Amino acid sequence: MTTSKYARRYFLKVTGLGAASLVMPSWSLAGQKRPGGRCNIVLILVDDLGYGDLSSYGAKDLKTPNTDRLITTGMRFDNFYANCPVCSPTRASLLTGRYPDLVGVPGVIRTHLTNNWGYLAPQAVLLPVLLKRASYHTAIVGKWHLGLESPNRPNERGFDHFHGFLGDMMDDYYTHLRHGYNYMRLNGERIYPKGHATELFTQWSIEYIHKRAKGKQPFFLYLAYNAPHTPIQPPTDWFERVKRREKGISEERAKLVALIEHLDEGIGRVMAALKESGVGENTLVIFTSDNGGQLRVGANNAALRGGKQDMYEGGIRVPMCAVWPGRIKPGSHSDCIALTMDLFPIICHAAGADFTHKIDGRSILPTLLGKPQPQEDRFLFWVRREGGRYGGRAYYAVRYGDWKLVQNSPFEPLELYNLADDPAEQRPLGEKHKMYQELFTALRNHIIEAGAVPWQGPPNAK
């Protein structure tokens, strides 16, 4: 069956049979005009926040004044996507600007080899490496989730400072343990802090900001909260407050609302620290989530179908905003379609960090700065590999314009939707539709490209 020029071009790119200029050229920022200034950069990534779980995104039973204020201070995105419906792959894309399966992370990196579905590729160039070359001090506070052992720990992959935990999740927000093991670290040292994880990560970020603000070196802070990921464990007083305020709310929902509101308070404190330390006016702040909200714990993904783990919109579309005083217009909105990996070139451009290697992300900086930016002609891919009931198999989605081909589990058929006509993904169009084969072919070619990248690492990787 014949395929479109777009699918053929993508095949030429991934197989090396055609000129790179035909499709998706790699990004080099060398020589491009930059918006100016040596700004600081704070990237806030929250964990499992539903598309409808901020009051500014339509929630009626929770209050997130600090995050809402942050959003209105800059540009809000309504069509922003995580690179995966689960944690590790999105984080890999964020820090490499690549599709996660092209850097060895098609699924969640975990403690046990038989349930581990990724190994961050040694050749992958991470964002902090490039920022350090541009004279930035680089830090991660909070959740890493891209490797438990050397050589894939934060300080070995470009971060000057690491204050957080290595693992996938905590079994308790107060003990910070996972499978009975302590993954909390201050750089390479195991630590035993006391307190709720959200409060710890907030305080550690504030301390870092105040310390770095005293010097002249610009800084990059990647603040990766684990809230509102399970276990849904808000401080008791926050939970009781929600129960008193929201009449008729379920226990399950009240716990999640309280955990999100507690997180919002922490974000407000971090933003206040930027202002108090005198660097707020020269700091680019980006806020988003690693995937959609988890339905079984009461998350709200607005009118979107599905949630965390799903390839439907509720699993991958997430809140996002960017704030840059004097550069990004307050109260602005964008319908631009973008992914987590697109933040990589934005941050590099803002920092003056040049690179010449290939990435998959596309900078939306012109959009952020209020300049015209035509929608790029590109296929967008999502992949997740998982064990358990998935049996180690992968499942996928691919989008081109308004067309989306989605497989919501390895055991379900591919379904074609037009998101402009059917945003709730309720009316599949069938495999005889001409766009079904277009997207199917592009997805096949992406899988061919990803097949060259191992996702379990070398034989001795654990």
- What lies within 8 Å, CB to CB, of 20 at 6+ separation is 13, 26
* Secondary structure string (H, E, C) spanning 347-374: HHHHHCCCCCCCCCCCCCHHHHCCCCCC
Based on its alpha-carbon atoms, the radius of gyration of the chain, rounded to whole angstroms, reads 21
Contacts 24+ apart (CB under 8 A), 166-174: 167/111, 167/143, 168/87, 168/88, 168/108, 168/109, 168/110, 168/111, 169/226, 169/229, 169/230, 170/197, 170/226, 170/231, 171/231, 172/231, 172/233, 173/197, 173/198, 173/226, 173/227, 173/231, 173/233, 174/233
- What lies within 8 Å, CB to CB, of 205 at 6+ separation is 141, 221, 223, 270, 273
Quote the CA–CA distance of 53 and 58 in Å, as a whole number: 7
Distances (CA, A) of 419 to 130, 382, 389, 406, 425: 36, 16, 29, 12, 7
Q: What DSSP state is assigned to residue 195?
A: S
Quote the CA–CA distance of 335 and 337 in Å, as a whole number: 6
Contact 54, 234 (CB under 8 A): no
Quote the CA–CA distance of 47 and 275 in Å, as a whole number: 25
Angle of helix 197-213 relative to helix 251-276, nearest 10 degrees, comes to: 10
Quote the CA–CA distance of 112 and 115 in Å, as a whole number: 6
Q: Kind of pairing, strands 137-143 and 161-165?
A: parallel
Which residue bears the tokens 């654990």? 462
User: For 133, phi and psi rounded to 5 degrees?
Assistant: -65, -25
Q: What DSSP state is assigned to residue 390?
A: G
Quote the CA–CA distance of 348 and 90 in Å, as a whole number: 18
Quote the CA–CA distance of 42 and 66 in Å, as a whole number: 16
Amino acid at 116: N
Catalytic residues: 87, 145
Q: What DSSP state is assigned to residue 386?
A: -
